[in-house]
Structure 1
């Protein structure tokens, strides 16, 4: 890892570009090493658009994203790819590849042109596959896997990359309960190793259990953000989801349940 200097990835006066929606509130936040940010909001609120904007994959309507104080537009793409890792909600793989070959894509930003992966790259990929319970599938064609297995390959690919900042769009998508917990534990582990993590989530209770900070995105473009304990209020969450909720405590952690 490349010694990330605080505050890491920053959104400065950021308004994401959602077609047909007014500007709403500009977002100013910093994803510092060790933090686990969760992005919550209903369908269409702009969670994926925000994540892609933070990754430099689409331009903002207003404002900018900075890494180490420098606008993403000023970074070389290879250098940026070494620092930011993206777990996409869905993968569309057009070329046949094995699970191991797919995980090795995470090493591409670190390889010079025409250089093949070496023993260290292979060891990183195999360790990542083992961490995601995929070692026994290393030689399988990616196209033969289930949706949940493919999602774990996506996580393993970014783990092979070992970026300073993880941007994960629905990292538990398609996963069964056991692997949901394993995926969230992996992201928490990355934060514990002084990496920054921001993830879009649909599961409110996973966010309440695992996130240190939350960003709430409303369909009208409004937003609020801060430490998780300050964001996890019934008033804010019921407005966010247009859904009455009740809050209970389980082992000292909040759990939110719809009341109808």
Structure 2
């Protein structure tokens, strides 16, 4: 099974480095790993560095393959990236958007007839409960619907490494639960699933592992139940918090206030 290992990863944008020698892993396959941390911690930049969308140095290994320096068309064989939002100024329909995501694969990966491809599109739309939107233009969809289509584009090629940047941010509560449940299913099918989440309660309930980021570095990494602690929340988020057991056997995150270390003076 594939896992992802990060060693000395430095990445960012022109004149603005974001990640500074980040080392972590292996991030295992078969489970959901949430990237969490305060704003500007480097979560989205790390996801984009893994996807090859920003310049990175160091080592990012998926299984026995080095992703840094790998040609984009070869990288497409191993991973899919879901951005925070799809472009709104497009005349494509939902089905056309999924067909485009499939056809972006390297030629050697394209397989099956046009009918088989349409079958695959139908399977993905049904799995995400989007079948009724197949012919709808993307520009007519709500923010949450576009987010679901972006998820469909990410999974259409059945990638072994799935990178998702805030996939629940525009969704209502029911859709959030459905998406996180689906990500768990996809992970249990053998994929490495890495997702940026701002909602720590959602991460506590659904993520198997947490990578906590702060100021462009990895603060802590491991099983959710060992990483999500009052001490971490104080150090990284500057809040006083409790982690309480709930009646169904899970854990509930309760924020009591701003910690002394976060207060001015």
If the length of structure 1 is used for normalisation, what is the TM-score?
Answer: 0.89
- 2:103 is equivalent to residue 108 of structure 1: yes
- Displacement after TM superposition at 1:170 (Å): 0.4
- 2:142 is equivalent to residue 146 of structure 1: yes
Greater shift, 231-240 or 170-179, is seen at: 231-240
Equivalence map 1:28-47=2 (5 Å): 28-47=24-43
Separation in 1, partners of 2:5, 2:19: 19
- 2:78 is equivalent to residue 91 of structure 1: no
Q: 1:139 to 1:253 in 2, by over 3 A?
A: same
Equivalence map 1:12-91=2 (5 Å): 12-17=7-12, 26-60=22-56, 62-91=57-86
Q: 1:34 to 1:169 in 2, by over 3 A?
A: same
- Displacement after TM superposition at 1:106 (Å): 3.0
Contact 1:97 1:141 in 2 (8 A): yes
Residue ranges of structure 1 left out of the alignment (5+ in a row): none
Q: 1:90 to 1:165 in 2, by over 3 A?
A: same
Q: 1:121 to 1:239 in 2, by over 3 A?
A: same
CA RMSD of aligned residues (A): 2.4
Residue ranges of structure 2 left out of the alignment (5+ in a row): 258-265
Contact 2:41 2:214 in 1 (8 A): yes
| Count of matched residue pairs | 254
Contact 1:64 1:71 in 2 (8 A): yes
Contact 2:19 2:42 in 1 (8 A): no
Partner of 2:245: 249
- 2:201 is equivalent to residue 175 of structure 1: no
Runs of 4+ in 1 over 4 A off after TM superposition: 18-25, 113-117
If the length of structure 2 is used for normalisation, what is the TM-score?
Answer: 0.87
- Displacement after TM superposition at 1:111 (Å): 6.3
- Displacement after TM superposition at 1:152 (Å): 0.4
